[in-house]
Amino acid sequence: MSKNVLVSFSGAKNIQARIALTGSKSECNRALVISALSRGLVRVDNHSNAADTVTLNRILSELAVQGTDERAQVDVGPAGTAMRFLTAYLAVLPGSFHLTGTERMKQRPIGILVDALHAIGAKIGYAGQEGFPPLDIDGGFEQTAGSVEIAGDISSQYISALLMVAAVLPQGLELRIKGELTSRPYVQMTLDMLAEAGITHEWNGNTISIKQQNFGETTLTVEPDWSAASYWYSIAALAENAAIELPALRESSLQGDSRIRSIMKDFGVQTQTVAGGIALARDERSWPSATLNLKDCPDLAQTIIVCAAALGQNLSFTGLETLKIKETDRIAALQNELAQLGVTLTEENQVYTLNCDNLHFPKRIFVKTYEDHRMAMAFAPLALLVDEVEIEDAEVVAKSYPDFWLHLEQAGFGVKALQAEFN
């Protein structure tokens, strides 16, 4: 039976801590696939210990030594990035594969990526509902076309999956992005990491081209996770005072979520570069008057929205369309849980607006996580304002930040495991 966790904070709300974050899940997942495609020429340093990355690493390691003529069973569990990246990777890998995951994974769309792979000759069939996992893949296909068009406003991971395999295709790949590109920094991260591994590209307008070419020998060193850092920015914003050091984070980062630095400046969090990393401190707030566009960093949305709500700011947001197809419908989840504070989040023409006019802080709240790691970590900082925050399914954070509860304790939070009850 899963356990819940009770988070609290006693005494002065003065946070002083040095937190060593795990390697970036986004970077490490890409690095592992690139390494596998390079057949070992590319090595990976500073692995992430996120559950999704551990799963992907295990699967790629097992595939490297597989030798059966039967259809190999590949189960990614709840790892959405692994599902998307492996769909393209298995399509180019000789062999037959059944790619599946959890029940929630079977509800998350994959059809746009499968259609793009079909267009260049890949042999992929649906083993269940059309457009969704599980998939039956006959890898090592004969490429029939060198160009493909794909929608840019659904998931950048579809595009990254195609870009990573492009160099091993006999004709390379010309990828035409239709419409507005969501999460452009993640696509740029993929291209930058490929460049580190010796793979060149051209990006003209909405077209990215990668010719057939060989990987070079190199080591990809994974930076700590800026998504994980975002929760510490929220903690700093909600604290009365803060001095939080996050070692090894770089001012110049491949990760789009490093934008949290500029966003949280308005929330009263100052970022300083220090020897070996960065440091966060409380500062004066200067709330943005314009709508915050989170299109390029949707994984920050829950953290920012919950923090803004707790600070009573009726902010508006755009760029949240992909949140409905993540681990859960994150918009609905936010709406449900923020209601406990008297806060509403409404949508009109893809603009989402907080109304904090009835904001209040009960003595205790119970936060459902909906099997979503970011729900747990976005709401945990509220313990600085609510006496007791009970969070459902403590282990859900293992998906991206396994040490989250331990790190909260290091920063002075009370963290107590509870036997889960039906709520």
Query: pLDDT by residue (tens digit) across 278-330?
Result: 999 999 999 877 899 998 899 999 999 999 999 999 999 999 987 877 778 99
Q: Which two tokens stand for residue 314?
A: 């009726």
Q: What's the distance, Cα to Cα, between the start and end of the chain in Å?
A: 14
Q: Which residue spans of the chain are classified as CATH 3.65.10.10? A: 3-23+223-419, 25-221
The arithmetic mean of pLDDT across residues 378-402, rounded, is: 97
15-51 residues labelled b (16+ CB within 10 A) or e (exposed): bebebebbbbbbbbbbbbbbbbbbeeebebebebebb
Looking at residue 46, the DSSP 8-state letter turns out to be: S
What is the number of alpha carbons within 13 Å of residue 112 lying toward its C-beta? 19
pLDDT at residue number 202:
98
Sheet holding 202-204, edge to edge: 147-151, 173-178, 207-210, 202-204
Q: Which two tokens stand for residue 40?
A: 């070992």
Residue 378 has pLDDT above 70, yes or no: yes
- Listed in sequence order, the residues at least 6 apart from 181 whose beta carbon sits closer than 8 Å to its beta carbon are 152, 153, 156, 159, 187, 206
Report the catalytic residues.
299
pLDDT at residue number 423:
44
Residue 162 has pLDDT above 50, yes or no: yes
Rounded CA gap, 187 and 402, in Å?
26
Q: Fold for 25-221, please state it.
A: UDP-n-acetylglucosamine1-carboxyvinyl-transferase; Chain (3.65.10)
Of 334, 328, 250, 262, the closest CA to residue 294 belongs to 262
Domain 3-23+223-419 sits in CATH at 3.65.10.10
State the alpha helices, DSSP H only, in 15-110: 25-37, 51-64, 80-92
Rounded CA gap, 393 and 376, in Å?
8
Of 13, 31, 165, the closest CA to residue 93 belongs to 165
pLDDT at residue number 70:
83
pLDDT band at 421 (very low <50, low <70, confident <90, very high): low
Task: Write the pLDDT tens digit of every residue in 196-250.
Answer: 999 999 999 999 999 999 999 999 999 999 999 999 999 999 999 999 999 999 8
pLDDT at residue number 1:
45
